Amino acid sequence: MSRQTAADFHPEVLKLFDQFVHGLIPRREFLKSAARYAVAGITAEGLLNALSPRFAEAQQVRPDDRRLNARHVDYPSPQGHGTVRGYLVQPVQPAGKLPAVLVVHENRGLNPHIEDIARRLALDGFIAFAPDGLSPLGGYPGDEDQARALFPKLDQAKSREDFVAAVGYLRKLPAGNGKVGVVGFCYGGSIANFLASRLPDLDAAVPFYGAQPDAEAAARIRAPLLIHYAGEDARINAGWPKYEEALKAAGVRYEAHVYPGVQHGFNNDTTPRFDEAAARLAWQRTVDFFKRHLRA
């Protein structure tokens, strides 16, 4: 059976799914509204199941890949809730000290897809570290629906400070060259934008379809930016014109790419919203960007 793509779903179903996964509508409303587009014996529940992640099918790098040293570690939270768990991945045979990349997840915490992304980066010659923003609530629960329900319970101001602390953790790694970049997806894209505005010494930031900071925060950015947007993502893209205006006014170095015809989440290869061509191009641009700005 061939893999489903966004083209297999009615555009309104994709919009409803985007609203559902971002907490804008409850599951019940998604099912009620999506039922209007259920055809050929496929129920609304079937549509939701078809759009949900398939982690094992999409995995590119095995957790036990012998080229990598992958492990979970804890670092201190500056917010008084103990430690934050993260997934640290390094090449087993590095060619000297390596640059580090912070990997920030979507609004479900540190799931298997984000761990796989970290392993992919490590194979490209980086130290990759993916913190679990759900650590204060017990960590990623192993279920996407449960993770999505937990996320609104986080104190977002404290969570942002935990990601700031993660950058400091990476700078101090003995195996690192002292340079740190960040890549984030959706929620993680907004965190990448935030970190760029918060940390003047951040070396590079790559937000994938992330919400934008306001003009005042954008004016504080010193890191070079590589920004990826999905063409069919009106919710996030609405904030881009003002963000670009603020970046230009502040003289921020940036390049932005809008990938025509693709959905929010197009880089996530665990769901049908994945677009192989756009994801391959965006990822190659990302790796090249990090190599250019993070290697000594």
What residue type is 72 in one-letter code? Answer: H
Query: Which whole number is the average pLDDT over 243-257?
Result: 98
Query: Which whole number is the average pLDDT over 46-56?
Result: 93
Query: Which whole number is the average pLDDT over 90-111?
Result: 95
Residue 233 reports pLDDT greater than 80: yes
H-type helices in 86-213, by residue range?
A: 112-123, 144-150, 156-171, 187-198
What residue type is 55 in one-letter code? Answer: F
Q: How far apart are CA 225 and CA 58, in angstroms?
A: 28
Q: How far apart are CA 235 and CA 23, in angstroms?
A: 13
Average pLDDT of the chain to the nearest whole number: 95
Q: How far apart are CA 197 and CA 65, in angstroms?
A: 35
How does DSSP assign 33-99, residue by residue?
HHGGG--TT--HHHHHHHHS--HHHH--S-TT-TTEEEEEEEEE-TTSS-EEEEEEEEESS-SSSEE
Q: Which residues have CB under 8 Å from 22's CB, separation 6+?
A: 107, 186, 235
Q: Sorting pLDDT into bands at 50, 70 and 90, what band is 33?
A: very high
Among residues 268, 64, 91, 287, the alpha carbon closest in space to that of 186 is found at 268
Q: Sorting pLDDT into bands at 50, 70 and 90, what band is 1?
A: very low
Q: 40 — alpha (psi -120 to 50), left (phi > 0) or beta?
A: left
pLDDT reported for residue 240: 98
Query: How far is the CA of 60 from the CAs of 107, 112, 211, in angstroms?
Result: 22, 11, 28
Query: How far is the CA of 64 from the CAs of 59, 67, 98, 116, 288, in angstroms?
Result: 12, 9, 21, 11, 26
Q: Are 119 and 87 in contact (CB under 8 A)?
A: no
pLDDT reported for residue 187: 97
Residue 229 reports pLDDT greater than 80: yes
Q: Sorting pLDDT into bands at 50, 70 and 90, what band is 38?
A: confident
pLDDT reported for residue 2: 62
Span of 73-82, 149-158, 205-214 with lowest mean pLDDT: 73-82
Q: How far apart are CA 291 and CA 42, in angstroms?
A: 46
Q: Is it true that domain 55-294 has CATH number 3.40.50.300?
A: no
Residue 40 reports pLDDT greater than 90: no
Q: Which residues have CB under 8 Å from 118's CB, separation 6+?
A: 70, 87, 89, 103, 128, 129, 130
pLDDT reported for residue 214: 97
Where in the chain is CATH 3.40.50.1820? 55-294
- As a whole number of Å, the end-to-end CA separation of the chain is 46
Q: Sorting pLDDT into bands at 50, 70 and 90, what band is 42?
A: confident
Among residues 205, 231, 230, 208, the alpha carbon closest in space to that of 218 is found at 205
pLDDT digits (tens, 9 = 90+) for 114-137: 999 999 999 999 999 999 999 999
Most distant CA pair in the chain, distance: 58
Percent of the chain with pLDDT over 70: 98
pLDDT reported for residue 144: 93
Q: Sorting pLDDT into bands at 50, 70 and 90, what band is 18?
A: very high
